[in-house]
Amino acid sequence: MHLGLILGDQLTHDLASLRVLDPKVDRLIMAEVRDEATYVKHHKQKIALLFSAMRHFAQELRDAGWQVDYYEYNSQGNFKSLFDVVKHYTNEYSAERLVLTQCGEYRLQNAMDREWSKSLNIPVDVYGDDRFIATTKEFADWADGRKQLRMEYFYREMRRKTGYLMKDDNPEGGQWNYDADNRKKWDGKTPFPNPPMFERDDIDREVIELVEKNFADHPGSLDEFHWATTRSQASTALGFFIQHCLSNFGDFQDAMVRGEKALFHSLLSPYLNCGLLTAKQVCDAAQRAWDEDRAPLNAVEGFIRQIIGWREYVRGIYWLHMPRYAKQNTLKNKRSLPRYYWDGDTKMACMADCFKNTFDHAYAHHIQRLMVTGNFALLTGIKPEEICDWYLAVYADAYDWVELPNTLGMVMHADGGYLGSKPYAASGNYIHKMSDYCSQCHYSVKTQVEEESCPFNSLYWHFIDRHREDFKNNHRMGMIYRTLDKMKDDKKDRIIGRADDLLSRLDEL
């Protein structure tokens, strides 16, 4: 008899390991364990979503004829790790083999590959996770010999492979990428749809109570827990996005609006990343919307690019370069994460709004993450490992394979430009351009050196100045350094002085 281990991000019936097991004789294991819930302080909603979705999936498996042993979280129990659970059931059933699908974290996969087989005294078979469009080998072959890996070129290969938005061997509309059309500030008129609300069942309620009791010191609130926890609910969320949001998603995907948690974003990434939805299912739905003239090309292309382009690309980078990728800090950042990343209490309106969304919903969209909370961490020189752990902890869709390259590479430029050709650094003017945050802020986005000047403004030039040696030869930043060099010395000194003052009291901002 073989044992199959199903992880919390593998809630898919067509899983590689399930295809090689026999429901008549083999057994499946699923487990909620302390080590996986606490190695960073995961948001309460993230834990609740996964525990509930796992319990619902276990029932789906039983209904499909599988024998499932499910270990529910027990703070006083003997099993603290996945290995503890696996070892128990391996001994109980005298299992001949452990079968699993490659997991989404190097930390866990490395332990499985190096230690589990020896400790369990049985073979451990690990199958590739073919829910993704590209295999890790396919990405490695594409990356071989390239000094820099540009997502755009990989994305084109994925378009050709899948056929999404293609006419023969050419892209729909004659262009591969319509990102230039997707950078509009919200017009103040187009109404935001209200995301679907899902009725909570007994499993949901039991899990929410468990999380409130056992993870009280973790960030976030469960007061507005609205995530789908079943496959059916996730499919409803997909249908809602396609019908009510996709047509406006492209135009306003980079916009930010105070007090709005979702705008026209899909909110589907937690379901994609835990397995309630698949990339093919989601992209097929978007393709149909284009085929049936229910959404414009810039919206459909932008959405599909996030999934078969960026999502696949960062996964490829993760498995190609771990574990050394996680240790990179080419800008030599040394500062600790300011306290408001954990309590949300800051006078910066943009940061406060992003934190509120994060703690209330375990969500913030990609521009809030990249150009507000991420930009601030970049400008202030936060240690990469601290901001990476924060993103991993507070978002419902965060798993190491997707979070680490996004944060360490794209947000923090800590990989020396391997993932992005220039740092995503910006002053308060970018935030003002793409949002309404600045109109309600304690600080003024129009000034740089006064006591109530927007912190982003002086911190931006401090970042540019202190990293001159890192970026002076970057052709994409030449204009920035020419602007800095044209500044009068007195003005530059006052800007740098203002930033030095801010950096000396970061927790007070």
- Cβ-based neighbours of 476, under 8 Å, separated by 6 or more: 421, 422
Place 182 in a pLDDT band, splitting at 50, 70 and 90.
confident
Q: Which two tokens stand for residue 37?
A: 């819930």
Q: Which residues partner with 4 through β-bridges? A: 28, 99
Domain 340-508 fold is: DNA Cyclobutane Dipyrimidine Photolyase, subunit A; domain 3 (1.10.579)
Query: What predicted TM-score, i.e. pTM, was given to this entire model?
Result: 0.94
84 touches 78 (CB < 8 A): yes
Check for a shared fold between 2-127 and 340-508: no
Write down the residue that tokens 């600790």 correspond to: 336
pLDDT of 289 strictly over 90: yes
Half-sphere exposure at residue 306, Cβ-oriented, CA atoms within 13 angstroms:
23
pLDDT of 75 strictly over 80: no
pLDDT of 74 strictly over 80: yes
CATH class, range 2-127: alpha beta
Considering Cα of 237, then 238, then 244, then 249, what sign does the dihedral take?
positive
pLDDT tens column, 1-36: 999 999 999 999 999 999 999 999 999 999 999 999
What is the pLDDT at residue 183? 86
* Count of C-beta atoms within a 10 Å radius of residue 483: 11
DSSP letter string over 129-182? -TTSSS-HHHHHHHHTT-SS--HHHHHHHHHHHH-TTEETTEEGGG-S--GGGS
Instruction: Name the percent of the chain lying above pLDDT 70.
Output: 100
Q: Say which DSSP state 253 is in.
A: T
What is the pLDDT at residue 146? 83
- Prior bond of 323 cis (ω within 30°): yes
Q: Which residues partner with 101 through β-bridges? A: 127
3 touches 99 (CB < 8 A): yes
**Helix (H) or strand (E) run with residue 103 in it:** none
Least confident range from 115-124, 272-281, 388-397, 400-409: namely 115-124
In the chain, the largest separation of any two C-alpha atoms, in whole Å, equals 79
pLDDT tens column, 478-500: 999 999 999 999 999 999 999 99
Please give the average per-residue pLDDT across 431-458, as a whole number.
95
Please give the average per-residue pLDDT across 85-113, as a whole number.
93
Considering Cα of 394, then 395, then 396, then 400, what sign does the dihedral take?
negative
Query: CA-to-CA distance for 90 and 120, rounded, in angstroms?
Result: 8
pLDDT of 148 strictly over 80: no
pLDDT tens column, 392-421: 999 999 999 999 999 999 999 999 988 888
- By 3-state DSSP, what share of the chain in percent is helix, strand and coil, each rounded to 5? 55, 5, 40
- Cβ-based neighbours of 13, under 8 Å, separated by 6 or more: 60, 61, 64
Q: Which residues partner with 30 through β-bridges? A: 70
What is the pLDDT at residue 180? 84
Domain 136-198+226-321 fold is: 1.25.40
Q: Which two tokens stand for residue 357?
A: 């969304």
Burial 345-354 (b: 16+ CB within 10 A, else e): ebebbbbbbb
**Helix (H) or strand (E) run with residue 30 in it:** strand 27-31
* Count of C-beta atoms within a 10 Å radius of residue 478: 12
Query: CA-to-CA distance for 395 and 362, rounded, in angstroms?
Result: 5
Q: Which residues partner with 68 through β-bridges? A: 28
pLDDT of 341 strictly over 90: yes
What is the pLDDT at residue 247? 95
Q: Say which DSSP state 414 is in.
A: T
What is each CA distance from 469 to 238, 408, 456, 477, in whole angstroms?
46, 20, 21, 12
pLDDT of 76 strictly over 80: no
Q: Say which DSSP state 184 is in.
A: P
Query: CA-to-CA distance for 388 and 394, rounded, in angstroms?
Result: 10
Amino acid sitting at position 240: F
Nearest in space to 456 (alpha carbons), one of 436, 427, 433, 484? 427
Please give the average per-residue pLDDT across 349-377, as a whole number.
96
* Count of C-beta atoms within a 10 Å radius of residue 500: 12
Q: Where are the domains of the chain?
A: 2-127, 136-198+226-321, 340-508
